[in-house]
Amino acid sequence: MPLKIRLARGGSKKRPYYHVVVADARSPRDGRFLEKLGSWNPMLAKEDAKRVELNAERIKHWMDHGAQPTDRVLRFLAEAGVATREVRSNPEKAKPGKKAQERIAERAQKVEDAAAAAAKAAEPASAE
């Protein structure tokens, strides 16, 4: 049975609240879980101590028994010093899409054309 340490959503509409749980990987997001290990309240300020609460001892226990944390939970564990997370870098993701690049090139061309037209208009006036 592959185990995951993941988030289970709670809270009302537009007021999310998540429980950090250990569950079978095949069970649904908000379905059956084995144990609640903590909570995350994204509505609180980032500096608030109650934003992320974790039971580090139980998390270590489940990780020793083969439970794999999801990426978001691993971020929380890295901040708490329970686990390490490798820094990921995808420079291609930061680049604008094809259409956006076309719009940027089009704007640059318009600016160039306007500057050239302004320079052309200024030349004859200064020659007289």
In tens digits, what is the pLDDT along the chain, a chain of 128 residues?
Answer: 699 999 999 999 999 999 999 999 999 888 899 999 999 999 999 999 999 999 999 999 999 999 999 999 999 999 988 888 888 788 888 888 999 999 999 999 999 999 998 888 887 655 55
- Domains of the chain: which residue ranges? 3-80, 91-128
Cα–Cα distance for residue pair 98/53, rounded to 1 Å? 42
Cα–Cα dist 66/27, whole Å = 17
Q: What CATH number has the domain spanning 3-80?
A: 3.30.1320.10
Torsion, Cα of 63, 19, 54, 25 (10° steps): 10
